[in-house]
Amino acid sequence: MSTEAGTRTTTTTQPSGRVGDSPLRPDGTLKVTGEFAYASDLWHDDMVWGVTLRSPHPHARIRGIDIAEALTVPGVIAVLTADDVPGENAVGLEHADQPVLASEFVRYEGEPVALVAADHPETARRAAQRIHVEYEVLPAVTDPRRAMDDDAPAVHQPGNLVRHLTLRRGDPDATAPVVVSLDFEVGMQDQAFLGPESGLAVPAEDGGVDLYVATQWLHVDQRQMCLALGMPKELVRLHLAGVGGAFGGREDLSVHVHASMLALRTGRPVKMSYGREESFFGHVHRHPAWMTYEFGAERDGTLVYARARTVLDGGAYASSTAAVVGNAGTLGLGPYRIPNVAVDAYGVFTNNPPCGAMRGFGCVQAAYAHEALMDELAEAVGLDPVAIRQLNGMREGDTNITGQVIDSAAPVAELLQIVRDMPMPPPADTSDIRSRPGAVGNTTHGEGVVRGVGYAVTYKNVGFSEGFDDYSTARVRLEMTGGEAVATVHTAAAEVGQGLITVEQQICRTELGVERVVVHPKNTAVGSGGSTSASRQTYVTGGAVKAACEAVRAVVLERAALSLGRPANELRLDGGKIVGSSGEVLVGLGEVLGEDAVEETVEYRHRPTHAIDPETGQGDAHVQFAFSAHRAVVDVDVELGLVKVVALDTAQDVGKAINPDAVVGQIQGGSAQGMGLALMEEIVVTDGHVRNPSFTDYLIPTILDMPPMQVKVLEYADPHAPYGVRGVGEPPTISSGPAVAAAVRAAAGKPLRRVPIRPEHITGT
Amino acid sequence: MDFLQPTSWTDALAARAERPDAVAIAGGTDVMVDLNFDRRRPGALLDLGRVPELREWAAEDGWVRLGAGVPYSRIIEELAIQLPGLAMASRTVGSPQIRIRATVGGNLGSASPAGDAHPPLLAAGAVVEVQSAARGARRIPAEEFYTGVKRNALAPDELIAAVLVPTAAGPQQFCKVGTRNAMVIAVSAFACALHPDRKTVGTGIGSAAPTPRRAPDAEDFLAGELQAAGLWDSRGRLPEELARAFGERVAAAASPIDDVRGSAAYRRHSLSVMARRAVTWAWNDLREAA
């Protein structure tokens, strides 16, 4: 793999691990050697085990629950139902519409109905099977395209519409000489994180509970738990356990309230750990989408208008569906200049599995439609796929479809040019079976294999949008320990594997000029860090850490200025010393600090965003945009429909690479996840039932499916963001899949309007 | 649940006879999945991992006697010449870790229609050797061994001792379609073996019927056409239309279903393509060897 660092000027040889370096992450070796303690490794000496009984039906009325037999199982300590929820029996990320435990209705297969605590997990599972729930099975709404029909049963009152986003700009009835249109369908992808949901709830002497859990946002969990447990937040303390991936699937609650209820009832620490199958029912998925798109253009390919209608299946509860609709609407036409626009995006309730946040958040689905249509337009006007995108691509200063001015770099044309100019992969090495479509399956020795190339480009909002008060809190402390200056940084921002801990350390080293930075365990003893999602933590929590460091530094330099008799603005912190403007050492930090610790806590907010107009969808909805482009090269066995991705090359503007190795890691992982949706990843749901809740049949890419990547990182600083950073994690997940799909279409010569593309779609059998 | 761990074949057979409620376990790659999901809760597990006799193979008079406990990784390393079809299929089993644990005996015991070892065993004309303490050993041709979805011809007191596979007298091929390029359960699979000594053709179909099965019409058709055209002796080029017709007959022998892994129509189609390609490769290998 080649990794080039665009416009970066910082050297990476500096051993100290400052901003722009790539220090090793503290959890890296532990994870590779299998020694990292994930949430599933949590242990407490006298703990008991909790399990969840879930609904077998997509929609049913609960006539009664009989727990008597379950209570007689030796080893069982408690069996709880909706009647035992101490507070309000309702949780939810944006709307509290989901019962902690179902009381009157179950609305999806897998909805929690009852809890068991026992001295052994197997005992608890067996006891759960002895809870007798009487269900009256009800008709289920399983086709989201019919969910808004008058005769569709209501999943919730008053109806099945979660959000309808209307966006109108320019002349929505504009006409054009060249018109192309298509329908596109995206299947339900799963986050497929490797560490299933897990947590340990420990009852405390003060009547409260300490919950150790794998999550993405401790404080939004705490808020929901307080309501459900009927307890003040002082008594509901959360601690981040080892997180084995998240990708949006840990934004909603899982074991949190359940384990805490069992712990508070039994007075014992309670551990809950889902297996892989339960995990598929224990978190939300990416919304499946049905999209109808139309572009009108001049004969030279310049876009005149775009129309889009998108239906997203939200499943049984709201979760973050409204915000996903927001993205699918406001960003749903891609990074293009389009003067006349009419978009309608709908999120609906059904009795399918609940859908919510997943990496790319509404932009992933839309990108399949607008990128496939852009290829259609290129064909119609006689341009190649790169040229049509460069012709219409956004530039800095352009206005997007909600009327927002793109006020920092928008290098659409350049990103496309970079990936186009990258060296093409050599012809397939036919001597190695692993390099052919089907690989070790030995299905072709070259017969039927056609190579295809495809391009895609995207832009994605970074941070929370549409007026959300999006902030993060950091507490930074500087003190002398054993003769060495040590900074301690405390945030509640979740490390889920992306490398935030390392970034926090790098920022502290840079701002405070110390080598040693201790990252305090993440918990709710400090203010909210906001969600580890929306590609926002390096920006927002990074901004908070930077601001807290600056506050600490100001105090320290002021003290030094007093004792040195020099103005503070002529002093700097470096190498644990106070240095002058030309770098001369003036005094050690120890002499300034003495026994004192300087500690500051700061809340950092990015520029505010605004709600969009309910009629026109116009408004400055987003704070920052991140751009990426991919070129995919595939070999397709067109007779068998098997695909080998030969190359998946990308260019992305990251503003500033705080940790260049981690940036490339995000880009590689995100690209693989995007490719997975294009070719194999789908939760198959039939009549409201999940048919493949296992890694046997929910396939994610292996090393033989993912090619080596050429990655080009651009660093066009966003002047409004700390260090100029731009979110990194999501764009690769958005543009990689459509590029792969385009390459497969090119090879197969078929429209292929659905992903994942299955072998039978390519062969037509 | 009791855990029985005999250290000799005699003890294993005795334990099998005494405990009809025991499930035999070799590598555990199938059995443990069922246990973890609580699909099975046998009274005992009969671990065959400590029985040395099962972990050996030997060449005997034109056959390889392959102990039921020889893992796939060793078949790939040690038997690629003698049993090329089985070695190719072994290469597609699970992940490297799974191939170190999993065994042909386990595949036969589970008798899943998707088991990767079955098609090459059928194509080669393998025989399964089973044994009980009471009645001794008996031999069952592979095609009679599979009796239904995940059912086989073992009596309750019997264990699988070995599988006897004729040493390849001609080229063999194995193809497997999955929706991913590694570590995937077969959507469909096909094996063929050319027996130039007998002027016959062997076939095996996987994941496309309630049991692994042969395609006898396709075998007879191709052998007959080759004979009629004198190709067995001349080793001339295999006519494309003959390979295609063979593929169609293989597809016709399947009775596939629609499931979450693939459609019946695709399974049938892919079998016709795999059979056409595989037999062409095998025939070309035969010509090159001449």
Which residues in chain B are contacts of A438 at CB distance < 8 A?
A: 175-178, 181
Cis link prior to A756 (omega < 30° from 0)?
yes
CB contact under 8 A, A705 and B181: yes
Same domain, B62 and B103: yes
The pLDDT tens digits for A359-387 are 999 999 999 999 999 999 999 999 999 99
User: What is the pLDDT, as a whole number, of residue B38?
Assistant: 85
User: Which CATH fold would you assign to the domain A471-605?
Assistant: Aldehyde Oxidoreductase; domain 4 (3.30.365)
- Full domain range(s) for residue B100: 51-166
User: Which CATH fold would you assign to the domain A39-139+197-281?
Assistant: Aldehyde Oxidoreductase; domain 3 (3.90.1170)
Which pair of tokens denotes residue A77?
């300590």
B45 CB within 8 Å of a chain A CB: no
B246 within some domain: yes
Which residues in chain B are contacts of A763 at CB distance < 8 A?
A: 266, 269-270
- DSSP assignment of A212-279, as one string? EE--SBHHHHHHHHHHHHT--GGGEEEEE------TTTTSS-SSHHHHHHHHHHHSS-EEEE--HHHH
One-letter amino acid identity for A720?
Answer: H
Same domain, B190 and B81: no
Which residues in chain A are contacts of B176 at CB distance < 8 A?
A: 438, 441-443
CB contact under 8 A, B277 and A437: no
B254 within some domain: yes
Same domain, B144 and B209: no
CB contact under 8 A, A703 and B182: yes
B136 CB within 8 Å of a chain A CB: no
* Cα nearest neighbour of B187 on chain A: A759
Shortest CA distance to A78 belongs to which of A41, A131, A134?
A: A131
- Contact yes or no for B160/B54 (Cβ under 8 A): no
CB contact under 8 A, A702 and B180: yes
Q: Which of A640, A691, A702 sits opposite B177 (nearest CB)?
A: A640
> Rounded distance, CA B108 to CA B90, Å?
14
B181 CB within 8 Å of a chain A CB: yes
Which residues in chain A are contacts of B179 at CB distance < 8 A?
A: 679-680, 699, 758-759
CB contact under 8 A, B183 and A691: no
Alpha helix segments (H runs only) across A119-204: 121-128
Instruction: Kindly list the domain boundaries of chain A, sorted by start residue.
Output: 39-139+197-281, 471-605
CA–CA min distance B176, chain A (Å):
5
> Rounded distance, CA A202 to CA A199, Å?
10
Same domain, B118 and B211: no
* Cα nearest neighbour of A441 on chain B: B176
- Which residues does A345 contact at the CB level (< 8 Å), separation at least 6? A163, A164, A165, A167, A308, A309, A310, A312, A325, A328, A329, A332
* Cα nearest neighbour of B177 on chain A: A441
Tell me the pLDDT of chain B (290 aa) as tens digits.
999 999 999 999 999 999 999 999 999 999 999 998 888 999 999 999 999 999 999 999 999 999 999 999 999 999 999 999 999 999 999 999 999 999 999 999 999 999 999 999 999 999 999 999 999 999 999 999 999 999 999 999 999 999 999 999 999 999 999 999 999 999 999 999 999 999 999 999 999 999 999 999 999 999 999 999 999 999 999 999 999 999 999 999 999 999 999 999 999 999 999 999 999 999 999 999 97
- Contact yes or no for B278/B123 (Cβ under 8 A): no
B26 within some domain: no
B6 within some domain: no
CB contact under 8 A, B266 and A641: yes
Contacting B with CB below 8 Å, chain A residues are 125, 275, 277, 434, 437-445, 447-448, 639-642, 644, 679-680, 684, 691-692, 696-697, 699, 701-705, 758-760, 763, 765
Same domain, B158 and B231: no
One-letter amino acid identity for B268?
Answer: R
B213 CB within 8 Å of a chain A CB: no
CA–CA min distance A395, chain B (Å):
39
Which residues in chain B are contacts of A703 at CB distance < 8 A?
A: 182
Same domain, B154 and B218: no
Q: Which of A438, A703, A705 sits opposite B177 (nearest CB)?
A: A438
Q: How many domains does chain B have?
A: 2
Which pair of tokens denotes residue B20?
């009809």
Shortest CA distance to A139 belongs to which of A160, A153, A159?
A: A153
CB contact under 8 A, B92 and A765: no
CB contact under 8 A, A275 and B36: yes
CA–CA min distance B88, chain A (Å):
8
CB contact under 8 A, A765 and B266: yes
Same domain, B59 and B150: yes
CB pairs under 8 A between A and B: 98
Chain position carrying tokens 């003036």: A586
CB contact under 8 A, B175 and A702: no
User: What is the pLDDT, as a whole number, of residue A252?
Assistant: 98
One-letter amino acid identity for B159?
Answer: L
CB contact under 8 A, B181 and A758: no
Shortest CA distance to A496 belongs to which of A533, A540, A539, A465?
A: A533
Indicate the DSSP class of residue B91.
Answer: H
Three state DSSP letters for A686-750: ECCEECCCCCCCCCCCCCCCCCCCEEEEECCCCCCCHHHCCCCCCHHHHHHHHHHHHHHHHHHCC
User: What is the pLDDT, as a whole number, of residue A593?
Assistant: 95
Which residues in chain B are contacts of A679 at CB distance < 8 A?
A: 179
User: What is the pLDDT, as a whole number, of residue B37?
Assistant: 85
User: What is the pLDDT, as a whole number, of residue A428?
Assistant: 84
B279 within some domain: yes
Same domain, B88 and B121: yes
The pLDDT tens digits for A121-140 are 999 999 999 999 999 999 99
CB contact under 8 A, A434 and B38: no
B41 CB within 8 Å of a chain A CB: no
CB contact under 8 A, B177 and A699: no
* Cα nearest neighbour of B263 on chain A: A760
* Cα nearest neighbour of B87 on chain A: A440
Q: Phi/psi class of residue A145: alpha, beta or left (left: φ > 0; alpha: ψ in -120 to 50)?
A: alpha
Which residues in chain B are contacts of A702 at CB distance < 8 A?
A: 180-183
Which residues in chain A are contacts of B185 at CB distance < 8 A?
A: 696-697
CB contact under 8 A, B277 and A445: yes
Domain CATH number, residue B100: 3.30.465.10
- Contact yes or no for A492/A529 (Cβ under 8 A): yes
B7 within some domain: no
Q: Which of A443, A644, A680 sits opposite B179 (nearest CB)?
A: A680
User: What is the pLDDT, as a whole number, of residue A15?
Assistant: 46
Q: Which of A440, A443, A691 sits opposite B274 (nearest CB)?
A: A443
Which of A640, A645, A687 best tests the B interface by mutation, with the highest count of B CBs <10 A? Answer: A640
CB contact under 8 A, B268 and A642: no
Domain CATH number, residue B218: 3.30.390.50
Helix (H) or strand (E) holding A630: strand A624-637
For residue A349, what are the β-bridge partners?
A: none
Same domain, B148 and B177: no
CB contact under 8 A, B263 and A765: yes
One-letter amino acid identity for A303?
Answer: L
Same domain, B176 and B152: no
- Contact yes or no for A225/A236 (Cβ under 8 A): yes
For chain A, 765 residues long, the average pLDDT of each consecutive 10-residue run is 37 66 94 96 97 98 98 98 98 96 98 98 97 98 96 94 98 96 98 98 98 98 98 98 98 98 98 97 98 98 98 98 98 98 98 98 98 98 98 98 98 98 92 92 97 98 97 98 95 98 98 96 98 98 98 97 95 94 93 96 98 98 98 98 98 98 98 98 98 97 96 98 98 98 98 98 95
SS3 of residue B98 by DSSP: helix
B263 within some domain: yes
User: What is the pLDDT, as a whole number, of residue B247?
Assistant: 98
Alpha helix segments (H runs only) across A60-101: 68-71
